[in-house]
Structure 1
Amino acid sequence: MKNIFFLLLISSVQPVLSQTKLEKAITNLENNYEQEKVYLLTDKSQYAAGDQIWFKSFVFDGYNRTALSTTLFVELYDSDKKLIDWKTILLTNGEGSGDFKLKADLPEQVYFVRAYTPYMTNFSEDFQVVKTIPIYNPNSAESLEISKNSNWSAKAFPESGNFINGMPTKFAVRLSSDNSLPESWTGKIIDAQNPNVSITTFTSFDKNVASFKITPTLGKKYQAIIQDNTGKKQTIDLPEVASSGLNLEVSSSKDGVKYSLKGVNLKQQLQNYKIVGTINNHLAYKANINQLTNEASSLIPTKISNGANGILQLAIFDEQDNLVAKRLCFIKPNNLKVEKAEIIGKNLKETPRSFNSIDLSPESYFKNYTVVVSDDGSNNTEDENILSSLWLTGDFTSKIDTPAQYFSKNANSEALDALLISENWKRFDWNSVLSGATPTIKNNSLKFLSYKVKPIKDNAILRDAAVTLALKLGENPPSASLFKTDQSGYVYLDNLNFNEPLGISLFVNQEKGKESSTDNLFVTVEPLVNPTQFKGNFPNTKYKLVKATENKKLPTTISRAINTQKNNRKTENVDVQIEEVKLVGKKQDPKEELNKQLSTGMFNSMNSTIFDFVNEDQHAGSGNILDWLQGRAAGLTFQRNNSGENVPYIRGSQAKLYLDEMATDASMISSLPISNIAMVKVIKESGLIGNAVLIYTMKGNLKSKNTEKETKKNNLAIVKGYDKPSEFPIEMLDDSTAKVENDTRETLYWNPNLFDSDYVPPRIKFYNNDSAKQYKVLIISFDEDDNILYDNQILK
């Protein structure tokens, strides 16, 4: 926080020659506790096996989009913590997008998406985002059900943590549960010695919290009796009443945060007490009490946060710099600084499969939008959104039911304040910081991707040696540069930003009198930062798995998703048939001759894609042929197995693998040199074979026209960079979609990067499905100063 506000309660201040313990702690905090948080937006809240999960990530450093990290790891796990898939996402101005293609045979259960930057691994894993994703499969032996178990527990939290004799004290009551919380609950406060008399009562603001105020008497034991709407009760003890201490009261308004301090039976009263306010681990406010007094109060102006919203942590320290009270409060809870989208035109229809458009103002300060349009207009409630993640859940590890409610149009600021009284800022601990402890930074915030390259010649590591590395990105021509290895034999490639296969070839200057050769050269490449193993536990959810019944009932949205998958397959089949028709009557070419020569019987199919390695230069290098195949055949995708090898899937189902028409597995294929491959064939839904990938090796007198190039394989390594997002399909009214009988798409438009330069004005264009009468439109954007635009509305 750049603006630090200092307040002196008296004018005379003595100069300090050296830093106090607290001042050293503040310096420590400023220098060592920079931290990030992630919000992950998905196009839907639940999916069917075989669906595609589209996601957009926003990474923040405090309340601004991060400038620390340019790389984000996003991982998909099942409920047993088995890693299903992962993506390496490029962050630009803290934003990045991607997708997961779900296998059609995924068992029905709750899955989890984990997202974190390499820099975030220096801190507690609890602050990495873990998003719950229920995935349904009608063919699974088990079904997901919402648990009816409503067991809960309650705790009472005094404001600032102190409960002092004779001091009116505000309490927050907080409920927690592994599953779901009761809809509503009430409570009363009693003296344990006189349980039949109610001192005060309270009613819950929401499922999470309630609050009450009480003035305690020394020696009495107070209890809270809580009862939910189903009749369940629980009795909890309030803290023991203290005879001395500090009472802190805080309130927040549009003008700022007001605090009042009252000391009870303190030796030196409040003299030399310090008030420290931090926002996102940065000092924002500091005041010293130099008078001999038992009471002090002040208004902290909103300029400490430049007028923006956010959480202020107030900490009170005594004359010995000991922490004696602390309190969290929200800055301007009733005046959220959130912009709305300026829609200057719209053309929306209820007609099935009609074209629709929404125009945004080209004069806006916001230039890049994230937009989701769906027909789920009947349910506009949100459990979580970017506002609640930015201002609340991104910084707390406890489970909060429906956090988006605290920043909605009808939000209750008293409820938010009670919630913050019950919370604890765990990004750092004052006592630890006061002791001088600092986090261990193992992974620095590197720009883009970095690799270490180990050149080897004649089985020996080249130390302090001059080598030439040729870098070839995709189909681009290679570029060569001279490097010198370090004492460990490594060359470092830093700040690489790429999303196509990168070939790294090694060359060494020839020795005098010897012919130059690459046969004795070998090169390995390792990324400097890798995904880390998840060590924690996934959050408890409201779901449970039960044995599936004979007539398994699916949620309506899942039935629609399954029907959409069927429609997509119909559309793909029409496209394939059109391509086959185009092939009829064509003159025989060398590729067809090669196919006839190598393929037999049932392995011949018109519904196939062929890659000829004999007559054509496929620019495949010497890597893994399955890695090379990614993105080269329509409908063919890959999922990594437990061994990290790519396994082919066609239209969501695992494809069979054949080597010279004999069934094999990915491990056998991955070890096969590409120079030995004559042909690769991808077959889709053909007769007895079904979906398959076939690898044919060189036989007889077959010889690649590029043999000389292919033999240079030992000195080449292929590196995968950032995962390139797939393109979201915009349904068009053509012959293929006309074959679809019932269009049930839920997500009608997904664009994580709608730029104002794409159209003038920026235009959201989509086609209706067969049933939508109104559209749920979500728009998110940030301007150059990181002011947020958030608009979630129903349009008709």
Structure 2
Amino acid sequence: MNKRALAGLGLLLVLGWSTARPAAAQTAPLDSLDGLTGRLLRYERRGPHEKLFLHLDRPTYLSGEMMWFKIYAADGTHARPLALSSVAYVEVLDADQQPVLQTKVALQKGSGQGSLGLPTALVAGSYTVRAYTSWMKNFSPDAYFHRPITVINTQSASGAGARDSAASYDAQFFPEGGHLVRGLRSRVAFKITDKAGRGVAAEGKVLSASGAVVATFRTLRFGMGHFDFTPAAGPDTYTASITLGPKRILTRPLPAPAEQGYVLRLDDTGPDQLTLTVSASGVPAETLSLLAHSRQQVAVATREPLRNGKAVFVINKSALLDGVSHLTLFNADRKPVCERLYFRAPQQLLSITGRADKAQYGTRDKVSVQVATAALPAAAAANLSMAVYRLDSLTTTPGPGIDRYLWLTSDLQGTVESPDYYFTATGPEAAEATDNLLLTQGWSRFRWEDVLAAPKPFEFLAEPYGPVIQAQVLRADTRQPRTGVTTYLASPSRIVDLSVAASNEQGIVRFERNRFGGSRDIVLQTDPGQDSTSLLTVLSPFSGRYATGPRPAFGITPRFQQDYARRHFQAQVQNVFAGKHRNRYAAERVDSLAFFGKPDETYLLDKFTRFKVMEEVLREYVPGVVVRIRKDGFHLLVVDRLNKTVLSENPMVLLDGVPVFNINKMMAMNPLKIRKLDVLDGRYFHGPAVYNGIVSFTTYKGDLEGFPLDPRVLVQEYEGVQRQREFYAPRYDTPEAAKSRLPDLRNLLYWNPEISLAGPAAKTLDFYTGDQAGRYLVVLQGLATNGLAGSRSFVLDVKPAL
């Protein structure tokens, strides 16, 4: 089945098993359909369906500004907060799908918050913010969160917009169900977009190879529509001629018709009824299987015989699940031959209310916004975020609300234009527009080939306890993976945190670091006694796969030159007078306990007489460690106090948490650089490694104090989860503050990513306007513990001071 064509989908029937069926639909048990249902359930239940949604503080930025965001993690079945992953990966992609910014953000209990400073050298253009977790990398990158943003570089805002031409437009055609078949009447959906991916109005005609007009069409909404068309028998080909305006013609070929196959048609045939008609040509009489599924739930498993090339399935709409539902048709060989989608707007959303205390505000005026959630059960809680930003000529369309994303756009391919329309509009035109959307932007997050195949282990594991650092161990000469090599990962610090892992068949080692934040050096090595020739490489945790779809275009508009200049001035003033508040970070809670817990012996060397030789320090102050000198130099042996014996091999010796296998080097270090010495006086089991005790040296700064590491050791700077910046906004709550001569030209007045509401109780949020009059948009997003999602926005008016 053509994968690209199958992207145009649109239906699912979710009939309760006890619901009465029309005579035409023969419901089969869930474990029947020759095992199709069971295979789908097995595939879906192997792991949770995870979704991320990012609430960005605004849709348009200046290069050099800060982008703030809140991350919501939800399960794809019930939309409830999902605490599966502890790390989210956030990237900003340019028009060529190349990352210009990357960061890792910590997640706790299904949510997180972060920020990205947009470089001043970032060129003006349309960019995409995408986000995903390690677990989500097991599935198509189309399932990652994607949100377009606009970045304006006011340093170079004098360029002209792109020239308008037919080459700047695109048109795509999607046969319903996936295919055109000669001799069978089909519904063909289409989408016509401009260079920015927005739908445009157009009309056109379908021409045969001889130039005869066989169909005509016209767009309905957002550049989409559909027409009916019967490909003739024989080798005829078809072309669409599209009129975009005076002297602007776009020509595109239609998908080539198949000589034989199946065609689907879904019709609304009653107030509570859908009819799915299957037409077939060139295939034997057989029994077709229909499998309906949605959000990891199998809804319907039915069979119908194909008689005279026709089969009809009747579906009760009231039994359909909320959101996007899938219906897949299988032939007698259990091969998927057609697929269709259907959307049902969710019956209940999180109702967020937001009300300002005044109808109008002055500059440097206090604003109080009361936020509440209506009809939220007392036992449920909601987590919200709120942004307040200025509306001007440069502001682009806001992104979709979290409810629109979780229930519709996250299950479709590409960017959905005006998703609110499909939740609020009613009537025949809205139903037709929704169907056109599903036919042109439909998508499945899995391939049926994977479902029907034998189960395979997932390549990427979830990260429930912290970021996982992955590396690969290769043979230095052949670059082939090495298996079973014990590898150690540390980061020099006064907090001793060592990780150890053995390489798998691909040479991959995984280190789980539950307290790794900010940028720091990591030290990766193997035990030279076991291995001294391996090549170590740290692997990037970011996904190298990218979603398909149009790349957004961008052009500077000359008529906005004064607006660019005004925004440039505002940004420069804010940077001069408020730039010192840009990198204020929240205090971090750090667990100072070593990975091995509380040591059996601790020595703070400043409390003892200082010696200049490490051997004297150990012999005089540390009775738990025996110093021996052999032919190859020094050896340290730990006294096992529990068994009243001396362990026969060297312990794990650490310096600021970094393993030191050359004891002679450690004994040559100046002990005046050592602040503390810890000893664990028994065997310690650490993953695949067993230590004959632990002797841990800690310097004053935790930076190795110039200790010479082995040349084979890999030292690399690595970025952990980002530190949490604090949003700063001035407060004018005293007469002196209100009369301050420092200018306040903020375009983002308020950002709060953590608003907790329990039950129907309201919360009041206060902030102050700046020196800029205008209209400000208040945007609220929220997700409740019971899976209800919602969004709300309203406008504040700020008038200039008289």
Do residues 55 (structure 1) and 45 (structure 2) align? no
Deviation at 1:169, TM superposition (A): 3.7
Match of 1:101 in 2: 117
| Contact 1:500–1:721 (CA under 8 A) maintained in structure 2 | yes
Task: Summarize the Cα distance change of 1:106–1:273 in structure 2 as closer, same or farther, 3 Å threshold.
Answer: closer
Do residues 369 (structure 1) and 369 (structure 2) align? no
Amino acid across the alignment from 1:496:
N
Map 1:169-188 to 2 at 5 A.
169-176=186-193, 178-179=195-196, 183-188=200-205
| Contact 2:33–2:302 (CA under 8 A) maintained in structure 1 | no
Q: Report the secondary structure of 1:540's partner residue.
A: coil
| Contact 1:342–1:364 (CA under 8 A) maintained in structure 2 | no
How many angstroms apart in 2 are the aligned matches of 1:241 and 1:79? Answer: 33
Task: Summarize the Cα distance change of 1:562–1:213 in structure 2 as closer, same or farther, 3 Å threshold.
Answer: same
| Contact 1:383–1:401 (CA under 8 A) maintained in structure 2 | no
Match of 1:202 in 2: 217
Q: Report the secondary structure of 2:352's partner residue.
A: coil
Match of 2:573 in 1: 566
| Contact 2:173–2:191 (CA under 8 A) maintained in structure 1 | yes
Which residue of 78, 85, 90 corresponds with 2:106? Answer: 90
Q: Report the secondary structure of 1:417's partner residue.
A: helix
Task: Summarize the Cα distance change of 1:186–1:288 in structure 2 as closer, same or farther, 3 Å threshold.
Answer: same
Match of 1:731 in 2: 730
Q: Report the secondary structure of 2:464's partner residue.
A: coil
Which residue of 293, 304, 309 corresponds with 1:289? Answer: 304
Amino acid across the alignment from 2:293:
T
Match of 1:540 in 2: 551
How many angstroms apart in 1 are the aligned matches of 2:673 and 2:30? Answer: 80
| Contact 2:93–2:100 (CA under 8 A) maintained in structure 1 | yes
Map 1:130-149 to 2 at 5 A.
130-140=146-156, 143=159, 145=161, 148-149=164-165
Task: Summarize the Cα distance change of 1:710–1:381 in structure 2 as closer, same or farther, 3 Å threshold.
Answer: closer
Match of 1:710 in 2: 700
Note the alpha carbon deviations across 1:166-219, whole angstroms, 9 max, x for none.
7654321222455455731112456666737xx664321234311223566656
Deviation at 1:89, TM superposition (A): 1.0
How many angstroms apart in 2 are the aligned matches of 1:29 and 1:205? Answer: 38
Note the alpha carbon deviations across 1:677-719, whole angstroms, 9 max, x for none.
xxxxxxxxxxxxxxxxxxxxxxxxxx99979942875499999
Match of 2:131 in 1: 115
Task: Summarize the Cα distance change of 1:222–1:527 in structure 2 as closer, same or farther, 3 Å threshold.
Answer: closer
Map 1:34-73 to 2 at 5 A.
35-62=49-76, 64=79, 65-73=81-89
How many angstroms apart in 1 are the aligned matches of 2:179 and 2:122? Answer: 51
Deviation at 1:24, TM superposition (A): 5.9
| Contact 2:750–2:767 (CA under 8 A) maintained in structure 1 | yes
Match of 2:292 in 1: 277
TM-score calculated relative to the size of structure 1:
0.64
Do residues 556 (structure 1) and 574 (structure 2) align? no
Amino acid across the alignment from 2:447:
D
How many angstroms apart in 1 are the aligned matches of 2:44 and 2:181? Answer: 33
Q: Identity rate of aligned residues, in percent?
A: 21
Amino acid across the alignment from 2:391:
D
| Contact 1:138–1:554 (CA under 8 A) maintained in structure 2 | no
Deviation at 1:494, TM superposition (A): 4.7
Task: Summarize the Cα distance change of 1:35–1:569 in structure 2 as closer, same or farther, 3 Å threshold.
Answer: same
Do residues 420 (structure 1) and 473 (structure 2) align? no
Match of 2:339 in 1: 326
Task: Summarize the Cα distance change of 1:178–1:11 in structure 2 as closer, same or farther, 3 Å threshold.
Answer: closer
Amino acid across the alignment from 2:567:
R
Note the alpha carbon deviations across 1:534-578, whole angstroms, 9 max, x for none.
6789962221589xx9xx964727733641441352256899xxx
Larger displacement relative to structure 2 (234-243 or 729-738): 234-243
Amino acid across the alignment from 2:445:
R
Amino acid across the alignment from 2:344:
I
How many angstroms apart in 2 are the aligned matches of 1:145 and 1:127? Answer: 32
Count of residue pairs the alignment pairs up: 628
| Contact 1:343–1:358 (CA under 8 A) maintained in structure 2 | yes
| Contact 1:147–1:544 (CA under 8 A) maintained in structure 2 | no
Match of 1:780 in 2: 781
TM-score calculated relative to the size of structure 2:
0.64
Map 1:623-772 to 2 at 5 A.
709-710=699-700, 714=704, 721-733=720-732, 735=736, 738-740=739-741, 743-756=744-757, 761-772=762-773
| Contact 2:466–2:513 (CA under 8 A) maintained in structure 1 | yes
| Contact 2:577–2:742 (CA under 8 A) maintained in structure 1 | no
Deviation at 1:771, TM superposition (A): 4.0
Unaligned runs of 5+ in 1: 455-462, 507-524, 576-672, 675-702
| Contact 1:344–1:361 (CA under 8 A) maintained in structure 2 | no
Task: Summarize the Cα distance change of 1:786–1:760 in structure 2 as closer, same or farther, 3 Å threshold.
Answer: closer
Deviation at 1:359, TM superposition (A): 0.8
Deviation at 1:775, TM superposition (A): 3.4
Task: Summarize the Cα distance change of 1:439–1:134 in structure 2 as closer, same or farther, 3 Å threshold.
Answer: farther
Deviation at 1:449, TM superposition (A): 1.1
Amino acid across the alignment from 1:429:
R
Amino acid across the alignment from 2:432:
E
Larger displacement relative to structure 2 (383-392 or 64-73): 383-392
How many angstroms apart in 2 are the aligned matches of 1:136 and 1:793? Answer: 25
Map 1:172-251 to 2 at 5 A.
172-176=189-193, 178-179=195-196, 183-189=200-206, 195=212, 201-214=216-229, 224-236=240-252, 246-251=262-267
| Contact 1:339–1:789 (CA under 8 A) maintained in structure 2 | yes
Task: Summarize the Cα distance change of 1:3–1:296 in structure 2 as closer, same or farther, 3 Å threshold.
Answer: closer
How many angstroms apart in 1 are the aligned matches of 2:455 and 2:538? Answer: 27
Larger displacement relative to structure 2 (436-445 or 164-173): 164-173
| Contact 1:471–1:502 (CA under 8 A) maintained in structure 2 | yes
How many angstroms apart in 2 are the aligned matches of 1:351 and 1:258? Answer: 55
Deviation at 1:401, TM superposition (A): 4.7
How many angstroms apart in 1 are the aligned matches of 2:32 and 2:425? Answer: 49
Match of 1:584 in 2: none
Note the alpha carbon deviations across 1:130-173, whole angstroms, 9 max, x for none.
54444333434974745534522434333223556776543212
Which residue of 431, 445, 455 corresponds with 2:462? Answer: 445
Amino acid across the alignment from 2:466:
L
Unaligned runs of 5+ in 2: 1-11, 472-483, 525-535, 583-654, 657-671, 677-697, 710-714, 798-802
Deviation at 1:313, TM superposition (A): 1.7
Q: Give the RMSD, CA atoms, in angstroms.
A: 5.3
Task: Summarize the Cα distance change of 1:405–1:745 in structure 2 as closer, same or farther, 3 Å threshold.
Answer: farther
* Larger RCO (CA under 8 A, 6+ residues apart): 2
How many angstroms apart in 2 are the aligned matches of 1:194 and 1:83? Answer: 46
| Contact 1:164–1:244 (CA under 8 A) maintained in structure 2 | yes
Map 1:432-511 to 2 at 5 A.
433-434=451-452, 436=453, 441-449=458-466, 494=512, 496=514
Deviation at 1:447, TM superposition (A): 0.4
Amino acid across the alignment from 2:554:
Y
Match of 1:358 in 2: 369
Deviation at 1:323, TM superposition (A): 2.6
Match of 1:638 in 2: none
Deviation at 1:330, TM superposition (A): 1.3
| Contact 1:38–1:394 (CA under 8 A) maintained in structure 2 | no
How many angstroms apart in 2 are the aligned matches of 1:336 and 1:558? Answer: 47
